[in-house]
Amino acid sequence: MLGRTASSLFWLSRYVERSEDMARLLDVGYRISLLPGIGNGGHREDWKSTLVSAGCDAGFSRVYDEVNERNVVSYMLFDEENPSSVRSCLRTARDNARSVRTALTREMWESLNTTWIEFSDIKPHHMTRNKLPTLLDWIKERSMLFRGALLGTSLRTDTFHFGQFGAFIERADNTSRILDVKYHLLLPQNEMIGGGVDNYQWSTILRSVSAHRNYRWIYRDSRPKPWHVAEFLILRREMPRSLVHCYAWLAESMDGLEQLYGERSPSMDIAHKTYDTLRGGDMKDIFANGLHEFLQDFITCNNNLTTALATDYNFA
């Protein structure tokens, strides 16, 4: 396989995952805006946290003065200057898919191509408040359709593995950033981390990773507890967007690639090291050493994995 092909498979899969993540974050922002204002800034404050979780806050402030629903939605869905807007994600994904069409199954290509064609037909100025939830659902569905096409039609060769790397590195990055940002926003000053804070907004973290129902199956808490929320998103393998779950998939594809190529690469070692840390992890230790520090370390390792893959496999 060409190095450029591997790179395109990685990035196209990564951008599809990101489009879905952006839709989830907006969905949460939208729901909170329907609730009565809380705290000083009320719901305006939460659109701000939507931007921060999406890693879009710096770019946003270069374009807009005021943080409000209209501006945030427009920036995160349609803005071409924003490399992580849903539009940019879908375009980048499709451009990458076009350049490696020969490596994709017809189902994978058509799911991406149709998504792009239909998304391009949406006129941003026709977007109204009531249409937003339907559009966000559609974006999530289209991403899941692509994922289904990858899982259901792709040969389990390097094509599949590089696609998996992109999807799960992106998902792990997203989960860790949401947790990092929201945890600190929601936790009042002076409150001991892991203490008994009871705030209905904890459920928004869960919602942003589509896990508010799943959570109850595992924990049976009447209201989400911060400690459990963190554990759920970091260490629980059952949770498909948790860090350990992402790394279980990554490790599996790393092993698959090792078998296929008959050799081990430095990126495989990096992935396995992170996987081992998560697998053997204990919430008490993580909180003792600082959740923020733990997540920052994780984000760095996760980024290093991308760099290592690019070096090991000649991403052009």
Partner 1 sequence: MADIGFFNEMLTAEGTPRPAYSQLDSWLEQVPRNDLKRLSREAETIFRRHGITFAVYGTDEETERLIPFDIVPRIISAREWRRLSAGIDQRVRALNALIHDIYHRQEIIRAGRLPAELVVQNEAFLPEMVGHTPARQVYAHIIGTDLVRVSEDEFYVLEDNTRTPSGVSYMLENRETMMHMFPELFQSHRVAPIEHYPEMLRETLESVAPPACDGSPTIAVLTPGIYNSAYYEHAFLADTMGVELVEGRDLFVDDGYLYMRTTRQPERVDVLYRRIDDAYLDPLTFRPDSTLGVPGLFDVYRAGRVTITNAPGTGIADDKAIYSYMPEIIEFYTGQKPILNNVPTWKCEEKDSLAYVLEHLDELVVKEVHGAGGYGMLVGPTASKKERAAFARKLKARPGNYIAQPTLALSACPTFVGAEIAPRHVDLRPYVLIGDKVRITPGGLTRVALKKGSLVVNSSQGGGTKDTWVLED
- Identify which of residues 40 and 102 has a Cβ nearer to partner 1 in the complex: 102
How many residues make contact with partner 1 (CB under 8 A)? 22
- The single residue among 3, 41, 42, 280 that binds partner 1, judged by CB under 8 A, is 3
Residue number, 5 or 53, with CB nearest to partner 1: 5
Based on C-alpha coordinates, what's the Rg of the chain?
19
Q: Which amino acid is at 65?
A: D
Candidates 213, 240, 55; CA nearest to 147 is: 240
Candidate segments 1-9, 19-27, 38-46, 271-279, binder of partner 1 by CB under 8 A: 1-9
| Rounded to 5°, angle at Cα 303 from 212 and 275 | 65
Taking CB under 8 A as the criterion, which residues in 5-34 touch partner 1?
Answer: 5-6
Cβ proximity to partner 1: between 6 and 239 the closer is 6
Pick the piece of the chain touching partner 1 (CB under 8 A) from 76-84, 218-226, 247-255, 308-316.
Answer: 308-316
Compare residues 167 and 309 and give the one whose CB is closer to partner 1.
309
Footprint of partner 1 on residues 269-298 (CB under 8 A)? none
Q: Does 74 bind partner 1 (CB under 8 A)?
A: no
CA 269, CA 251: separation in Å to the nearest integer?
9
Closest CA to 92 of 74, 112, 73, 71: 112
Pick left, alpha or beta for residue 314 (phi over 0 → left; psi -120 to 50 → alpha; otherwise beta): left
**DSSP-derived secondary structure letter, 125:** G
Q: Which is nearer to partner 1, 106 or 292 (CB)?
A: 106
Q: What is the closest distance, in whole angstroms, from the C-beta atom of residue 113 to partner 1 in the complex?
A: 5
Sites for partner 1 among residues 93-132 (CB under 8 A): 95, 98-99, 101-102, 106, 109-110, 113-114, 117
* Helix axes of 43-53 and 3-33: crossing angle, nearest 10 degrees: 170
The closest alpha carbon to 77, from 6, 12, 147, 125, belongs to 125
Residue with Cβ nearer partner 1 (307 or 314): 314
Among 64, 219, 249, 261, binds partner 1 (CB under 8 A): 261
Question: By the 8 A CB rule, do 247 and 171 touch?
Answer: no
Dist. CA 75–CA 60, nearest whole Å: 7
CB nearer to partner 1: pick between 102 and 128: 102
Helix axes 86-99, 106-120, angle to 10 degrees: 140
151 contributes a contact to partner 1 by CB under 8 A:
no
Residues that bind partner 1 (CB under 8 A): 1-6, 95, 98-99, 101-102, 106, 109-110, 113-114, 117, 158, 261, 313-314, 316
